[in-house]
């Protein structure tokens, strides 16, 4: 049986995946293996601190990559972003800016930068189109993170214009799935709600407190679908114009809580705390460019992905909270 063009693409490539040991990285590595990638280098933070220039240079010397897929990031929910805005800005900016520059200097053939939906202006018209990215300032609670990640887009376009450096910039919406971060201090809304519902059910609690008033809408992308989108973009897309990766399903946080309650079997009430921040009012992406430019369309419906994530958490929670995401 002959190899597909995608498999041939990866066969002789040396690939460096920053954040490869994190949440999204675990899905990307599995899909790379399935595509026949033979040489994949995953830098671990114990050996390479990607905020430090010397460590970035040493990593590139050790990996000698043809392709760099930059997933590594300091990430977290609204609470973590509010408590550590300086770190969210500095760490993400320094990682991205130095890594792109050193990759160009090292002769890397292609750089894949992952942005964030948090870079969009607070009141972006829905669905978010890539052309709206610069039409205003991001929502305040995660603006330092969003702006730091968006700097990679400016750099990608600048280095392509001046040096002909082939880098792309993909913007995934909020990710979720098995192996997500379920630590309530730093987790995003889906793992936090799943954990709260299951623990409340076990303790016989009648209610769960949730931040905000439940009115904001969100869109979520199953992590395995995101990994597929990133690899399709790597294989088929060679421009620095930003491209959204999403599922096309918009849901309010209030309705999301209801679905998770139903799927976990939690029969109590949600107590909404409007004194806590809501975050961005609406969040939903126009994903038509990803499909048109490199054939990506999400395969997992939200309810199916939630069911799989809940089942994974029930099976693995005895071992303690899972590792953080990238």
Q: What's the chain's length in residues?
A: 326
Active-site pick, 27, 48, 120, 145: 145
pLDDT (average), residues 11-29: 97
Q: Does residue 321 register a pLDDT over 50?
A: no
pLDDT at 1: 37
Tell me the DSSP string of 4-36.
Answer: PHHHHHHHT-EEEEETTTSHHHHHHHHHHHHTT
Tell me the DSSP string of 247-286.
Answer: -S-EEEHHHHHHHHHHHHT--SEEEEETTS---SS---B-
pLDDT in tens, 139-177: 998 999 999 999 999 999 999 999 999 999 999 999 999
d(Cα 65, Cα 169) in Å, to the nearest integer?
Answer: 18
d(Cα 106, Cα 65) in Å, to the nearest integer?
Answer: 9
Query: How does residue 2 score in pLDDT terms, banded at 50, 70 and 90?
Result: very low
Q: Does residue 323 register a pLDDT over 70?
A: no
Query: How does residue 7 score in pLDDT terms, banded at 50, 70 and 90?
Result: low
CA 243 to chain centre: 14
d(Cα 200, Cα 194) in Å, to the nearest integer?
Answer: 10
Query: How does residue 134 score in pLDDT terms, banded at 50, 70 and 90?
Result: very high
> Buried (b) or exposed (e) across 89-106, using 16+ Cβ within 10 A?
bebbbbbbebbbebbbeb
pLDDT in tens, 55-97: 999 999 999 999 999 999 988 777 777 898 999 999 999 999 9
CA 149 to chain centre: 11
pLDDT at 81: 79
pLDDT (average), residues 222-232: 98
Pick the CATH number of 5-176+221-249+282-300 from 3.20.20.150, 3.40.50.720, 3.40.50.1220, 3.40.1110.10: 3.40.50.720
Backbone angles phi, psi at 80, to 5 degrees: -65, -40
pLDDT (average), residues 228-238: 98
Q: How far is CA 284 from CA 50, 147, 191, 250, 251, in A?
A: 31, 19, 19, 6, 9
Prediction pTM value: 0.93
In the 8-state DSSP scheme, what is residue 147? H
d(Cα 122, Cα 143) in Å, to the nearest integer?
Answer: 9
3-class secondary-structure state, position 324: coil
d(Cα 68, Cα 60) in Å, to the nearest integer?
Answer: 9
pLDDT (average), residues 35-45: 97
145 given a catalytic annotation: yes
């Amino acid at each position: 049986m002959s190899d597909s063009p995608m498999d041939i693409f990866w066969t002789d490539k040396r690939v460096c995946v920053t954040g490869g040991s994190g949440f999204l990285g675990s899905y990307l590595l599995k899909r790379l293996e399935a595509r026949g990638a033979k040489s994949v280098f995953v830098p671990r933070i114990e050996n390479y601190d990607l905020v430090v220039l010397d460590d970035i240079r040493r990593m590139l010397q050790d990996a000698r990559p043809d392709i760099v897929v930059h997933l590594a990031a300091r990430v977290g929910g609204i609470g973590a972003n509010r408590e550590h805005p300086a770190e969210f800005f500095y760490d993400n900016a320094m990682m991205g800016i130095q890594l792109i520059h050193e990759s160009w200097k090292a002769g890397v053939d292609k750089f894949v930068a992952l942005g964030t939906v948090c870079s969009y202006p607070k009141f972006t018209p829905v669905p978010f189109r890539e052309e709206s990215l610069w039409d205003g300032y991001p929502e305040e609670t995660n603006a330092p993170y969003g702006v730091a990640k968006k700097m990679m887009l400016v750099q990608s376009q600048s280095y392509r214009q001046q040096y002909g450096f082939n880098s792309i910039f993909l913007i995934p919406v909020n990710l979720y799935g098995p192996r997500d971060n379920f630590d309530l201090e730093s987790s995003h809304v889906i793992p936090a709600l799943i954990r709260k519902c299951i623990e409340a059910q076990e303790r016989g609690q009648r209610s769960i407190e949730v931040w905000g008033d439940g009115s904001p809408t969100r869109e979520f992308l199953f992590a395995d679908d995101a990994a597929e989108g990133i690899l399709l973009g790597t294989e088929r897309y060679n421009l620095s114009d930003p491209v959204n990766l999403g599922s096309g399903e918009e849901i309010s946080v209030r309705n999301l809580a209801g679905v998770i309650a139903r799927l976990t079997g939690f029969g109590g009430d949600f107590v909404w705390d409007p004194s806590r921040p809501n975050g961005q009012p609406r969040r939903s992406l126009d994903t038509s460019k990803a499909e048109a430019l490199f054939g990506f369309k999400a395969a997992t419906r939200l309810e199916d992905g939630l069911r799989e994530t809940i089942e994974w958490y029930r099976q693995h929670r005895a071992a303690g909270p899972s590792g953080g995401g990238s």
